[in-house]
Amino acid sequence: MTPLRFVHCADLHLDSPPAGVASHAVPFREASRQALISIVDTCLEQEVHCLLIAGDLYDRDLQDSAPLVFFNQQMQRLAEAAIPVFLIKGNHDAANRAIGGLLPANVHAFLPGQPQSELLQMGGHQVAVHGWSYAQEDEAGFKISDYPPAVAGALNLGLLHTALEPSGPYAPCTPADLFAKGYDYWALGHAHVFKEFRQDACLIVNPGMPQGRAIDETGVKGAYLVEISPGQAPQGRFFQTSNIEWTRLAIDARGLVSDSDLERLIRRKLETLINEGRSQRYACRLQLNQVEPQLYAQRYAVMDQFQSLFDGALDGRVLIEAVRLQARDQAVELDVDESLRAMAALVGADDLSQSLQELSEPLARSLGALGQEITLTKIGEALGDQDPATVLSQALSYGRIGAPEDE
């Protein structure tokens, strides 16, 4: 008997606009659609038995029905090959008023309320697919105990859109909770980064997202191809679906005193990225470090110049999200992990103001030039009732406290 074979994806966010490169909305819309095409192509090439979509197919409220139409067209390709699709709604889908449209007959969408099970034969195997959809954006009352018990003698697949945290608004649970259900495979969504957990014959996977949408979603993105045989641990492999890759490109500008010299260096670095990289196109944040005083004094003009010069360069294969300059002898790189750990310590602090005071010096050292803009007062004002780690993460993405005005 051949193994049960399926593809698992999540967080497609079809047609979602990119952050920081609004002028490139069309390329990113096409990229998210191409990611779905790649997923369907793989399903057909690998002759899978089903496709699992673990939530956030769309991005909150759609402006038109075009993504819905496109999705149905791709699902029809699978229908012609008799490949069923199992879909759950995530927190973004729950906020989408247009998602209740008609779906092709081969697409089974699990409902909100109590988790449900579908028992069917696929590839000579009895398979139980268990799933549940968000009814609203916040599902803090979710209980993993509501998921049905594993069906004896069947291969059990669970779909869940979760932050995989013991508490919080997004279907709180832990890997231990999922292992305890006795399923063979858990197809997760929500986290936009790849995560994998194994225990005995159970595999839990969050494949990340098929196409990144912002500078904090760097690297190759994709989906997961899985094979399961009764009595054996599931085996899987990640495959790339993104064709625009977000990246931070750090360039040492030490010793360069003219913008023309710096321009040539940047062009060489971008050409190397394109020639040696894994993706068709790149959305870059150019981080120019150790910039000499002559150039740093003109930093705003330099940033505008290189943003304009390189955005769409190399036959449209480079998109520039932002250009950042750092003066010579300042800290070269942002230690994001260290800063987040320091900021996250505030969450449980009894005296917030005292904790902010203790944090200010290490934060400034870690953030370098950015630390001069994020003052102690601004941090306090920005926090309010927000999660401190989230505030810092946004600051690192935007280069300042608070979101850009166009968001």
Q: Cβ distance 189 to 90 under 8 Å?
A: yes
In this structure, is residue 403 part of a structural domain? no
Q: What is the mean pLDDT of the chain?
A: 85
Cβ-based neighbours of 68, under 8 Å, separated by 6 or more:
58, 62, 98, 99, 101
pLDDT at 77 over 50: yes
- Residues 258, 207 share a domain: no
Strands 85-88 and 244-252: unpaired
If one counts every other C-beta atom within 10 angstroms of the C-beta of residue 65, the result is 11
CA proximity to 52, closest of 213, 225, 220: 225
**Residue predicted with more confidence, 18 or 247:** 247
pLDDT at 366 over 70: no
Final residue before a domain boundary, out of 205, 240, 275: 240
CA proximity to 171, closest of 219, 196, 135: 135
In this structure, is residue 85 part of a structural domain? yes
pLDDT at 393 over 90: no
Question: Model confidence at 98, in pLDDT bands (50, 70, 90)?
Answer: low
Instruction: Looking at 222-283, list the stretches that DSSP marks H as alpha helix, in order from N- to C-terminal side.
Output: 259-276
- Residues 268, 218 share a domain: no
- Residues 259, 227 share a domain: no
Helix, coil or strand: residue 326 = strand
Specify the range with the lowest mean pLDDT, choosing from 58-62, 103-107, 120-124: 58-62
Predicted pLDDT at 371: 47
pLDDT at 20 over 90: no
Predicted pLDDT at 378: 53
- Residues 309, 164 share a domain: no
pLDDT at 151 over 80: yes
Strands 222-228 and 4-9: antiparallel
Report the predicted TM-score, pTM, of the whole model to 2 decimal places: 0.79
pLDDT at 380 over 70: no
Predicted pLDDT at 110: 95
Predicted pLDDT at 1: 75
Range 82-88 average pLDDT: 97
Cα distance between residue 176 and residue 163, in whole Å: 14
Final residue before a domain boundary, out of 240, 270, 296: 240
Range 224-236 average pLDDT: 94
Predicted pLDDT at 140: 94
Beta bridge partners of 322: 285
- Residues 169, 107 share a domain: yes
Helix (H) or strand (E) holding 37: helix 25-45
Q: Cβ distance 78 to 106 under 8 Å?
A: yes
Number of H helices, E strands in the chain: 13, 15
Predicted pLDDT at 17: 82
Tokens of 9: 């994806």
pLDDT at 180 over 90: yes
Cα distance between residue 212 and residue 226, in whole Å: 22
Tokens of 231: 């009595």
Range 274-281 average pLDDT: 92
- Residues 308, 218 share a domain: no
CATH number at residue 169: 3.60.21.10
In this structure, is residue 405 part of a structural domain? no
Strands 125-131 and 116-122: antiparallel
Specify the range with the lowest mean pLDDT, choosing from 120-124, 190-194, 298-302, 351-355: 351-355
In this structure, is residue 115 part of a structural domain? yes
Question: Model confidence at 376, in pLDDT bands (50, 70, 90)?
Answer: very low
- Residues 122, 35 share a domain: yes
pLDDT, tens digit (0-9, with 9 covering 90-100), for 290-347:
999 999 999 999 999 999 999 999 999 999 999 999 998 754 444 445 555 555 555 4
Helix, coil or strand: residue 306 = helix
Going by the DSSP 8-state scheme, the letter that residue 333 receives in this structure is: S
Q: What angle do CA 315, 317, 318 make, to 5 degrees?
A: 110
Q: Say which residue the tokens 């799933």 belong to.
A: 131
Cβ-based neighbours of 145, under 8 Å, separated by 6 or more:
none
Domain total in the chain: 3
Full domain range(s) for residue 275: 244-327
- Residues 262, 221 share a domain: no
Predicted pLDDT at 246: 96
Q: Say which residue the tokens 């957990």 belong to.
A: 197
- Residues 392, 284 share a domain: no
- Residues 200, 183 share a domain: yes
Predicted pLDDT at 288: 96
pLDDT at 57 over 80: yes
Predicted pLDDT at 287: 96
pLDDT at 22 over 70: yes
In this structure, is residue 404 part of a structural domain? no
Predicted pLDDT at 18: 85
Range 163-177 average pLDDT: 95
User: CA neighbours within 13 Å on the CB side: how many for 273?
Assistant: 27
In this structure, is residue 59 part of a structural domain? yes
**Residue predicted with more confidence, 92 or 387:** 92
**Residue predicted with more confidence, 258 or 96:** 258
Predicted pLDDT at 391: 59
Q: Cβ distance 91 to 134 under 8 Å?
A: yes
